[in-house]
Structure 1
Amino acid sequence: MEKLVACVQKKPDAVCRLICFPWAGSGTSQLAQWGRLFNDSVEVFCIRLPGRETRLEEPFAKDMTSVVNEITSVLLKELKEKPFAFFGHSFGTYMSFAVALHLKKKYGLEPVHLFMSAAHSPNSAAYLAVKSIVLPDGPNDLLAIMEILGGNFELPHDEDLWRDTALTFKEDAKLFQTCSFEKTEMNIPFSCDITYFCGSDDKIYDAKGWQELTSGDTSFYELPGDHLYLLKPSNESFLIKHMTRSIENGL
């Protein structure tokens, strides 16, 4: 459990868990800290993939199916134990959606709310177009791919950090390309509410398709900032207040 999940503040009496799925090339350092910002009703878990942080010595995951299976098997007890919600940003949105589909299909489990951020809806033509991009080998070409897949955000200036981020990003991009959402699975798979967030200065995402993926309500919020708008303290505060209210209303 500790290998897969970062939980900086355990809250055994929380009424719901928020499982966070980070963006490509990153780890748990940002989203795990939300555990200190939510009130006692919400416990935050952040997913840590192989090849980074405490899992640095492990090989990167080769396909999304293996990621989904690991997350599901490790967290199944916790997900059955009390209500849960998902938050995914960018690449993390697709990972969270793949896990949610698997949980619904195999175990009949569904989040009380899906919070999606800075990503095309997986039933859109834009999603399929990004998924079919041929990944380059050169580090300079990779920068262009990061902008296509990752939107507009400032990259690290430190050379070693840039190299590590680029390597991890490329492996996550390969992982993203193994996502497969079958049409039969996409026939209104969820009944929970879905909220979609994005940055006003980020590239345009085709997000309206989320409405077709649930029989619940769908809402959309644009916040000031670029691809990593969620790291701005004012936006972070908005997200946490909004998610807390949505989760409590969904229980």
Structure 2
Amino acid sequence: MEKLIACVQEKPDAICRLICFPWAGAGTADLAKWGRLFNDAIEVYCIRLPGRETRLEEPFAKDMTSAVNEITSVLLKSLKEKPFAFFGHSFGTYLSFACALQLKEKYGLEPVHLFLSAAHTPNVSYRIINIMKQNHKLATKSKNNILHLLVLKKKNPPFLYVEANPKYMYLMECFMTTVYVHRFEKTDMNTPLSCDITYFCGSEDKIFDTKGWQELTSGDTSFYELPGGHLYLLKPSNQSFLIKHITKALENANQ
């Protein structure tokens, strides 16, 4: 549990746990600190994937399934103890959604709320992955070509950000390996969840088909656009909005 989860402030009397899933290449620092910002009713866990921080020497997860299996198996006991919710940003959105699917299908557990951020809906991502697959020979020649292909096909600022920061290149390679092998088939799109979903994004980000998230649950869905780009959530004013909104939603869910 300790190597997978960062929890900066334990709250044994909390009525709900918020499990946070960082974006590709990120550690736990930015989201784990939310544990000090929420009231005592909400305890925050942040997922630490292999190859990051204290797990730096561990090999990256070979695919999405491996990452999901580790997370759900390690967290299973905790998730049975009290209600829980997920917050995922960018790649973390896909990982949190995949974990929610497995928890429901395999264990009959479901988050009380999914908070999703800065990510295309899975069916759109599936089409993008198919484009990448068609260009596999180009994409596997070098890390630079992988980034070039993504910038051309997705026109997405986060990849420009990574391209401008060479020290994150190896993390992008891990991200590519993980996403490439995990696809959401059409059969996965038949309203798999029943929890409420709230989707957030930055006003300057390039995200496709955000409304498609409402097709993935029979619960209520809501959408919020906040000022900023792909990492809008790092702005103090936006962080404050997220904390207040998530708190209110979880308190209502547990009444």
TM over 0.5: yes
Alignment of 1:201-212 (within 5 A): 201-212=204-215
- Measured after TM superposition, the shift of residue 150 of structure 1 is 9.1
- Give the SS at the match of 1:184: helix
The change in CA–CA distance for 1:149 and 1:245 in structure 2 (over 3 A counts) is farther
For the residue of structure 1 that corresponds to 2:116, the secondary structure is strand
Deviation at 1:137, TM superposition (A): 4.3
Q: Tell me if the contact between 1:194 and 1:218 (Cα under 8 Å) persists in the aligned partners.
A: yes
- CA separation of 1:21/1:150 partners in 2, compared to 1, >3 Å: closer, same or farther? farther
The letter for the 2-side match of 1:104 is K
Q: What TM-score do the two structures reach when normalised by structure 2?
A: 0.90
Match of residue 151 from structure 1: 156
Q: Do 2:20 and 2:86's aligned partners in 1 also have CA atoms closer than 8 Å? A: yes
CA distance in 2, matches of 1:72, 1:176: 18
Scaled by the length of structure 1, the TM-score of the pair is 0.91
Instruction: Provide closer, same or farther for how the CA distance between residues 26 and 216 of structure 1 changes in structure 2, counting only shifts above 3 A.
Output: same
CA gap 1:150/1:8 in 2 versus in 1, 3 angstroms: farther
Q: Quote the Cα distance in structure 2 between the aligned partners of 1:209 and 1:51.
A: 32
Please tell me whether the aligned partners of residues 162 and 169 of structure 2 are also in contact (alpha carbons under 8 angstroms): no
Bigger share in helix:
2
Structure 1 residue 202: deviation in Å?
Answer: 0.8
Structure 2 alignment gaps of length 5 or more: none
Identity %: 66
> What stretches of structure 1 move > 4 A for 4+ residues in a row?
145-150
The structural deviation recorded for 1:180 is: 2.9
Q: Which amino acid aligns with 2:142?
A: G
Alpha-carbon distance, 1:171 to partner: 0.5
CA RMSD in angstroms, aligned pairs only: 2.0
| Residue 64 (structure 1) aligns with | 64
- Offset at residue 52 of structure 1 (A): 1.2
* 1:194 and 2:209 correspond: no
Equivalence map 1:98-109=2 (5 Å) = 98-109=98-109
SS at match of 1:50: coil
Secondary structure of 2:17's partner? strand
Residue 4 and residue 121 in structure 1: after superposition, are their counterparts in 2 closer, same or farther (change >3 A)?
Answer: same
Aligned to 1:18: 18
Partners of 2:33 and 2:149 lie apart in 1 by 28
Structure 1 runs not aligned, ≥5 long: none
149 and 20 in structure 1: CA distance in 2 versus 1, 3 angstrom threshold: farther
Q: Is 1:35 the counterpart of 2:18 in the alignment?
A: no
CA shift, 1:129, in A, is 2.6
203-212 or 217-226, which moves further after superposition?
203-212
Q: Which moved more, 1:219-228 or 1:176-185?
A: 176-185
CA distance in 1, matches of 2:195, 2:76: 19
